[in-house]
Chains A and B, each alone.
Chain A
Amino acid sequence: MTELNTAMIEQYRNSFLQEVEANVEEGEWVKMCMQCGVCAGSCPLGNAWEHPPQEIFMMIRAGKREAVLSSDSMWMCTSCYNCISRCPRGLPITHIMHGLAHYAQRLGLVPKNQPTQRFAQMFWQNLNKKGRVNELKLGLSLYFMNGFGEGVKTSLKMKDIGLGMLKTKRMAVTEAFGGHGVKDLSGFQKIMKKAHELEDARIQKSGN
């Protein structure tokens, strides 16, 4: 991935904005921001962002590539869509944030141990196995994400909710062993493989 990063730096030496336009989902909207700051004011997690969206857009235009891509900020987005619905310029801000996060991930620039990134990775792997999300396994791996001791503690804390869910048949213990998948699992895997191929080809093309 760092190889790709070097290639991108080489290609868009002068304009990080152009790099974002070409490689980030909905990136072509970044130039349209008018710096009003309504997004920053609308974000329920605003305090957690080191750089609120409009500042990220300004940093992109100012060519601050490293600062943007290795930032923690866009990982804070919870997809509440408040900013999108309020942006007077109609920028799909939520999508751009996810696009930036994804691009940073591809280039290997995400800050170490970024919890959102780790959970996203877990979710993705969980989903890829059977073509559907195994909620029990996903929940458990989330509990044990930061070590065995903390996992046990969290599990005990959630014990009552778990039992309640078992009783009302919202959760099946059997799912912990294998679990069920989509009807045509091999078909699903073929689709995913093809998608990876296409994506890799696109990145390859863009990176050269």
Chain B
Amino acid sequence: MADEKKFAGYICTGCGIGERLDAGQLETIATRDGKMQSCRQHEMLCSKEGVQTIRDDIANEGVTHIMIAACSRRAKVEAFNFTEVAMSRANLREGVIWVRPDTDENRETTQEMADDYIRMACAEVKFMTQPTGSGEQELNKQILVVGGGITGMTAALETAAAGYPVHIVEKSGVLGGHAGGYYKSIPTRSPYAEPQDTGISQMIADVEANDSITVHLNSTLARTEGAPGRFNAEIATESGSSETLSFGAIIQATGFKLYDPSALPQYAYDKSADVVTNEELEGLVMQADGGPIKRPSDGKAVESVAFVQNVGQNSTEENELPYHSGIGDMIAIKQAMYFKELNGNCDTTILFDNLRTPGAAGEDFYRAGQQKMITFSKGAVTEVVPGSTLEVKFKDLILNDDATMQCDLVVLDVGMMPNTGPDPYAQLAVEEAEDEAEKEKARALLENAPPSILNLEYRQGTDLPHLKYGFTDSHFICFPYETRRTGIYAAGPTRRPMDMRQAADDAAGAAMKAIQAAENAGKGRAAHPRSGDLSFPSFRKEGCTQCKRCTVECPFGAINEDEKRYPIFNEARCRRCGTCMGACPVRVISFENYSVDTVGQQIKNVEVPEEWDEKPRILVLACENDAYPALDQSAMNGVEITQWARVVPVRCLGSISLSWITDSLNNGYDGIVLMGCQKGEDYQCHFVKGSEMGLERMSKVGDTLQTLNLEPERVASYEVAITDIQRAPKLINDMAETVQNIGMSPFKF
């Protein structure tokens, strides 16, 4: 193809486009205004013959850039899939004919709309290049698993089974994690009536026997740098030696810690040896070695036991857990069954508040427990009185009276807490706190941050970001297992409280994602939501002012800094959202197929009529993930959109360059509507922070308007959901009304 560019336009006249619009005029616009060197019409471009026409031109005519004027860029993507050329799409179907009424008086404005979309698509493709790799791609099939518990081992076995070599780094001296010390597990098979073997020893044996799995015991990660496909991890052993290995992707399966009930004196955990946590009970059962379970204080075989549920969980109190682990009641039923099995006619009482036995399996297990004469009492324990027999005081919540019971052993259901590293954004949270109380809270979190696990050499911190309560941020909307650090996947209870079966399932999923990340990195392809995108951000070094905004604002921590504080883009870590591009005040960051120019030129090439023509122009910048599909959907439903609107899809609200706003206002646009995803705690942004960042930047656009002496109503930004098929068009039409009320822009010429 050499360096010569050859532009070709294709106009589809199918789906009613030909009947509603003057295709001849569109062709003229494409060649005259859009400077397409050739332009063809086809009555059904997405058909085999239509696509073949394009293919032939690429093969025989040396076409390098194509402009397709047909349906929305979200439609017919399989048909219009030309990987070897740069391509833009003019949306004549969903964007024009389906949103405008088919009447004579509208014919002129509808045609103008279509003309503009042709001009825009031609301008866009002129500034695009077909993405090629950065040269940074590396295929490394080796996967690193951090943590050797049930999650880590399952992840390793699944990865190895798929043919990828694995290294497990385990801090302790043995594999198995918490579950290694358990007598039995909650049943996972029908009839869900008896505790079952944990399967841990078999799993350890399988891991040790697997040639593709290397286990590093007594080891931690001293340093991890790089990106998917080229992670370099320094594995340090307790003895002081270390080795650096490279990996394609990382699975963090660092599990959980248990809440320490010492903080709650009413349960006498510190005062009596016979008050134990549910995990400590597993130890007692293992010690009993098949004989009756004995209480720790004097070795007497336990004749009655009380399980106190929900200890320090689901609480609003300081120093207690604000969430519930959700599996403590299943554990209590399992452990009560231990006593029925090993201690003869032992009285077992479970003092619960809200018994959580989810699913059909949970219900069956609960019934099995009742059948075995485990007593379930809805009661809130107020005090455990230590003594030769323990006295448990509780309020019976069904009979509404105060009750006591005597027992030999009390088992406390304590919650699971994540074993994660420090939150990379803890410092930022302190800085961004809005009031003193919030700041104090954030500061406490920062000061009590746990030691790092991954020790990432990332500009934005050493570990995976947290979501809530210290659990890692993962499982983004519609994208299971994804985290905010591409190629590093969290699995198991480090993500949320879960039982062994869930942890194993979670591990299998994370293993698949890790393999996918490694493979993607080898091909230079993006992860979700721009899966397969080969473009990557690059910057013009001469123009960079080292302001660091891109390195700070990247939602995925993809950008590092070199010693001179220039950004280092890590292609494989990048999700291609363009938040860096939107952040850059000097506009030096661009993608091959998406840049300040590809959108800027679309804006410039819309024909803005003179003021007295009474034809306003409204620019709509719509997020391609939710807002743009919503508009497509409303077009399918025949919802009208004003004939003055010109919609440009953007990768994310975060990628919007302020220059687009100022340029369009200077060019005489009358109104601008920005549509991004919901931000905040329940964010819907596919790039987590992109829309938040974008909306934040746009909130400052008022100054620009003021310097131009324009009304602030001319720019409006909204959070739009994919389901807003009535609301999204209305927001655009509202702007048309606003423009009608405040008058046309004075900047037309």
A85: Cβ under 8 A from any B Cβ: no
Q: Is the CB of A32 within 8 A of B370?
A: yes
> Which of B366, B371, B377 contacts A61 (CB under 8 A)?
B377
Instruction: Give the residue among B355, B376, B398 with the most A Cβ atoms within 10 A.
Output: B398
Sample of 10 more A-B contacts, CB < 8 Å, known A31-B370, A89-B367: A17-B375, A32-B370, A32-B371, A34-B366, A34-B370, A35-B398, A59-B399, A61-B376, A62-B399, A62-B403
Q: Is the CB of B396 within 8 A of A62?
A: yes
Q: Is the CB of B370 within 8 A of A55?
A: no
Q: Is the CB of A32 within 8 A of B398?
A: no
Ranked 9 nearest A-B pairs via Cβ:
A58-B398, A32-B370, A31-B370, A61-B375, A58-B399, A35-B398, A31-B373, A35-B378, A59-B399
Scoring A residues 124 to 138 as 1 if CB is less than 8 Å from chain B, else 0, what string do you get? 000000000000000
In the bound complex, what is the Cα–Cα distance between A58 and B377 (angstroms)? Answer: 8
In the bound complex, what is the Cα–Cα distance between A118 and B731 (angstroms)? Answer: 76
In the bound complex, what is the Cα–Cα distance between A55 and B403 (angstroms)? Answer: 15
Contacts of B347 in A (CB 8 A): 14
B535 CB to nearest chain A CB (Å)? 56
In the bound complex, what is the Cα–Cα distance between A31 and B373 (angstroms)? Answer: 7
The residues of B with any CB-CB pair to A shorter than 8 Å are 347, 355, 366-367, 370-371, 373, 375-378, 396, 398-399, 403
Q: Find the A residue at minimum CB distance from B366.
A: A34
The residues of A with any CB-CB pair to B shorter than 8 Å are 14, 17, 31-32, 34-35, 54-55, 58-59, 61-62, 64, 89
Q: A34-B366, A55-B398, A55-B399 are in contact. Are A62 and B377 (CB under 8 A)?
A: yes
In the bound complex, what is the Cα–Cα distance between A54 and B398 (angstroms)? Answer: 9
In the bound complex, what is the Cα–Cα distance between A202 and B270 (angstroms)? Answer: 51
In the bound complex, what is the Cα–Cα distance between A14 and B373 (angstroms)? Answer: 13
Contacts of B375 in A (CB 8 A): 17, 31, 61
In the bound complex, what is the Cα–Cα distance between A171 and B477 (angstroms)? Answer: 76
Interface residues of A, dominant DSSP: helix
In the bound complex, what is the Cα–Cα distance between A35 and B378 (angstroms)? Answer: 9
In the bound complex, what is the Cα–Cα distance between A61 and B399 (angstroms)? Answer: 11
A64 CB to nearest chain B CB (Å)? 8
Contacts of A32 in B (CB 8 A): 367, 370-371
Contacts of B398 in A (CB 8 A): 35, 54-55, 58
Contacts of B355 in A (CB 8 A): 34
Instruction: Give the residue among A32, A54, A55, A61 with the most B Cβ atoms within 10 A.
Output: A61
In the bound complex, what is the Cα–Cα distance between A124 and B376 (angstroms)? Answer: 38
Contacts of A35 in B (CB 8 A): 376, 378, 398
In the bound complex, what is the Cα–Cα distance between A129 and B4 (angstroms)? Answer: 116
In the bound complex, what is the Cα–Cα distance between A54 and B373 (angstroms)? Answer: 17
Contacts of B399 in A (CB 8 A): 55, 58-59, 62, 64
Q: Find the A residue at minimum CB distance from B398.
A: A58
In the bound complex, what is the Cα–Cα distance between A156 and B177 (angstroms)? Answer: 84
Q: Find the B residue at minimum CB distance from A28.
A: B371
Contacts of A17 in B (CB 8 A): 373, 375
In the bound complex, what is the Cα–Cα distance between A34 and B374 (angstroms)? Answer: 12
B26 CB to nearest chain A CB (Å)? 66
Q: Find the B residue at minimum CB distance from A64.
A: B399
Q: Can you give 25 contacting A-B residue pairs, CB < 8 Å?
A: A17-B373, A17-B375, A31-B370, A31-B375, A32-B367, A32-B371, A34-B366, A34-B376, A54-B398, A55-B398, A55-B399, A58-B377, A58-B378, A58-B396, A58-B398, A58-B399, A59-B399, A61-B375, A61-B376, A61-B377, A62-B377, A62-B396, A62-B399, A62-B403, A89-B367
In the bound complex, what is the Cα–Cα distance between A55 and B378 (angstroms)? Answer: 11
Contacts of A34 in B (CB 8 A): 355, 366, 370, 376
In the bound complex, what is the Cα–Cα distance between A59 and B347 (angstroms)? Answer: 17
Contacts of A55 in B (CB 8 A): 398-399
Q: Find the A residue at minimum CB distance from B369.
A: A31
In the bound complex, what is the Cα–Cα distance between A31 and B399 (angstroms)? Answer: 16
Contacts of B366 in A (CB 8 A): 34
In the bound complex, what is the Cα–Cα distance between A34 and B347 (angstroms)? Answer: 19
B115 CB to nearest chain A CB (Å)? 66
Q: Find the B residue at minimum CB distance from A30.
A: B370
Instruction: Give the residue among B347, B370, B371, B377 with the most A Cβ atoms within 10 A.
Output: B370
Contacts of A58 in B (CB 8 A): 377-378, 396, 398-399
Contacts of A61 in B (CB 8 A): 375-377
In the bound complex, what is the Cα–Cα distance between A34 and B370 (angstroms)? Answer: 9
Q: Find the A residue at minimum CB distance from B378.
A: A35
Contacts of A54 in B (CB 8 A): 398
Contacts of B367 in A (CB 8 A): 32, 89
In the bound complex, what is the Cα–Cα distance between A55 and B399 (angstroms)? Answer: 7
Q: Find the A residue at minimum CB distance from B372.
A: A31
In the bound complex, what is the Cα–Cα distance between A62 and B398 (angstroms)? Answer: 10
In the bound complex, what is the Cα–Cα distance between A89 and B377 (angstroms)? Answer: 17
Q: A55-B399, A58-B398, A59-B399 are in contact. Are A31 and B371 (CB under 8 A)?
A: yes
Contacts of A89 in B (CB 8 A): 367
In the bound complex, what is the Cα–Cα distance between A27 and B627 (angstroms)? Answer: 62
In the bound complex, what is the Cα–Cα distance between A34 and B398 (angstroms)? Answer: 11
Contacts of A64 in B (CB 8 A): 399
A16 CB to nearest chain B CB (Å)? 11
In the bound complex, what is the Cα–Cα distance between A41 and B466 (angstroms)? Answer: 45
A37 CB to nearest chain B CB (Å)? 9
Contacts of A31 in B (CB 8 A): 370-371, 373, 375
In the bound complex, what is the Cα–Cα distance between A17 and B345 (angstroms)? Answer: 14
Q: Find the B residue at minimum CB distance from A54.
A: B398
Contacts of A14 in B (CB 8 A): 347
In the bound complex, what is the Cα–Cα distance between A55 and B398 (angstroms)? Answer: 7
Q: Find the B residue at minimum CB distance from A37.
A: B398
In the bound complex, what is the Cα–Cα distance between A31 and B374 (angstroms)? Answer: 8
In the bound complex, what is the Cα–Cα distance between A31 and B350 (angstroms)? Answer: 13
Q: Find the A residue at minimum CB distance from B352.
A: A35
A19 CB to nearest chain B CB (Å)? 13
In the bound complex, what is the Cα–Cα distance between A54 and B367 (angstroms)? Answer: 16
Contacts of B403 in A (CB 8 A): 62
Contacts of B376 in A (CB 8 A): 34-35, 61
Q: Find the A residue at minimum CB distance from B374.
A: A31
In the bound complex, what is the Cα–Cα distance between A59 and B403 (angstroms)? Answer: 12
A67 CB to nearest chain B CB (Å)? 9
In the bound complex, what is the Cα–Cα distance between A64 and B399 (angstroms)? Answer: 10
In the bound complex, what is the Cα–Cα distance between A151 and B423 (angstroms)? Answer: 84
In the bound complex, what is the Cα–Cα distance between A89 and B363 (angstroms)? Answer: 10
In the bound complex, what is the Cα–Cα distance between A17 and B396 (angstroms)? Answer: 17
B360 CB to nearest chain A CB (Å)? 13
A155 CB to nearest chain B CB (Å)? 45
B673 CB to nearest chain A CB (Å)? 52
Q: Find the B residue at minimum CB distance from A33.
A: B370
In the bound complex, what is the Cα–Cα distance between A54 and B378 (angstroms)? Answer: 12
Q: Find the B residue at minimum CB distance from A29.
A: B370
B193 CB to nearest chain A CB (Å)? 14
In the bound complex, what is the Cα–Cα distance between A64 and B377 (angstroms)? Answer: 13
A87 CB to nearest chain B CB (Å)? 13
Contacts of B373 in A (CB 8 A): 17, 31
B406 CB to nearest chain A CB (Å)? 11
In the bound complex, what is the Cα–Cα distance between A17 and B376 (angstroms)? Answer: 12
